[in-house]
Amino acid sequence: MEQKPIASVRPGGQRGAASNGKRAVGAGWILTVAALACCARPPVANDVDLDTAIQAEMQTRRIPSLAACIIKNSDIVWQKSYGWADRENQAPATGQTVYLLASLSKAVIVTAVLQLAERGLVDIDRDVSEYLPFTLRNPLHPQVMVTPRMLLTHSSGLAGPATDDELPGFYDWFPPDGAPPLAQTMAGYLLPGGAHHVPAVWQASAPGTRELYSNLGATLLAYVVEFVSGEEFSSYCRRHIFLPLAMPETSYLLADLDPRNLAAWYMEGGQSIPRYTRRDFPAGQVKSSVQEWAHFLAAWMNDGVFRGERILDASSVAEALRLHNPASGVCLIWNLMRGGWHGHSGGVNGASSYMEFHSQDKVGLIMLSNMYLKSDNPFYSPDGKIYSLIRNQANSYRPQ
């Protein structure tokens, strides 16, 4: 039986606001970051100046906490934490503070899919219906198959959805670890006659012809992993990705984590909100710290290996980072900016996050916060002060 959604936790009663953790695929965003990536590097600020500038911007934006790090090769070479992980209890943020990562979670999905591809269990260019217990078709284009590659490049034709109203109930909040099973969610939304199916599940365009960032599509990929592997998705990721990378305090499930390390969650403006989960939890609800998430990013920076532990073949990493849409910069989940940087952003109720890395120079950065900032003005935007300061710091670890 599906657990009943939390009825009264939507801030301000705003059912129309999806807060769906998307972006970083728009052409304008990509080109702006590209310009920053290619520009001359200004002098690196000393730590005192850097701390002062970041904390001033946090105060202006009323950001309760920020944890950030820079990785070179497989090691953290710079790390800072600012503010309150839990403002009400005056608990300071640290490198071990566990944040909600929002759409950085999608990088976990592509990792899991490619692991199964390496084992010959999934072909990302075949009909995804071969890896599901039902046939998936856009009713407007029933002869056109949907492939995992289309889902990985947000070009399957599935809805975002942009708002709760587009797909009613898709972004409902459930108690922690209480989201309905993926089998129930996918069947209910995708199949005609399903409990939550509406025509807006599909775009009018044929699969493979139009890009639309889709939490629904990413969640479907997680169900593919679950169905093919025979393991519940969060358990699969913990067993095959997080624990091999020495990330014991990283999980989709709060039950796996030490509650003393958890950051409180806030909305923009500072409103505290309860912890929750959603139907699309695979696409946005990994929890981790900068210290542990650095292991995951380092594996991607180093052809699938972190300190001797391989989670992906180098060929899989190369394919995932290959540009698929020059207009938007989309690869397989990852986004490419000129200058060799790949990244992804996240924003959801209770969190804002960003990560990027330079695959040639083996330098990466991570920024995590426990407050949702509107997607048109997040702290990690290319013109944002915090992003600029930390990116400049990261550039100092690249060859001159």
Q: Average pLDDT of the chain?
A: 89
DSSP state of 116: H
pTM comes to 0.90
Q: Which tokens in the block code for residue 305?
A: 């290996």
Average pLDDT over residues 359-378: 89
Q: How far apart are CA 160 and CA 201, in angstroms?
A: 8
* Nearest CA-CA partner of 107 in 162, 152, 69: 152
Report the Cα 195 to chain-centroid distance in Å: 27
175 burial type by CB count under 10 A (0-12 exposed, 13-18 middle, 19+ buried): middle
Read off the pLDDT of residues 275-326 as tens digits, 9 standing for 90 and up: 999 999 999 999 999 999 999 999 999 999 999 999 999 999 999 999 999 9
Domain containing 263 equals 16-395
Mean pLDDT is lowest, of 71-80, 223-232, 375-384, for: 375-384
Average pLDDT over residues 185-201: 95
The string of DSSP codes covering 285-351 is --EE-HHHHHHHHHHHHTTTEETTEESS-HHHHHHHTS-SBTTTTB-SSSEEETTTEEEEEEEETTE
| pLDDT at position 142 over 80 | yes
Rg (CA), the chain: 20
Average pLDDT over residues 177-187: 96
Residue 5 lies in a domain: no
Residue 11 lies in a domain: no
pLDDT at 23: 38
Query: CB of 144 within 8 A of CB of 136?
Result: no
| pLDDT at position 374 over 90 | no
| pLDDT at position 6 over 90 | no
| pLDDT at position 141 over 90 | yes
Query: Domain of 147: which CATH number?
Result: 3.40.710.10
Residue 72 lies in a domain: yes
How do beta strands 91-92 and 335-337 pair?
Answer: unpaired
Residue 4 lies in a domain: no
Tell me the one-letter amino acid at 13.
Answer: G
pLDDT over 90 percentage in the chain: 81
| pLDDT at position 10 over 90 | no
Tell me the one-letter amino acid at 234.
Answer: S
Q: Which tokens in the block code for residue 340?
A: 């060799």
Residue 167's pLDDT band, with cuts at 50, 70 and 90, is very high
Residue 6 lies in a domain: no
Residue 157 lies in a domain: yes
Residue 10 lies in a domain: no
Mean pLDDT is lowest, of 173-187, 235-249, 338-352, for: 338-352
| Phi (first) and psi of residue 128, to 5 degrees | -60, -20
Q: How far apart are CA 400 and CA 83, in angstroms?
A: 33
| Phi (first) and psi of residue 52, to 5 degrees | -60, -45
The SS3 assignment for 190 reads: helix
pLDDT at 242: 98
The number of domains in the chain is 1
Residue 155 lies in a domain: yes
* Nearest CA-CA partner of 321 in 358, 367, 364: 358
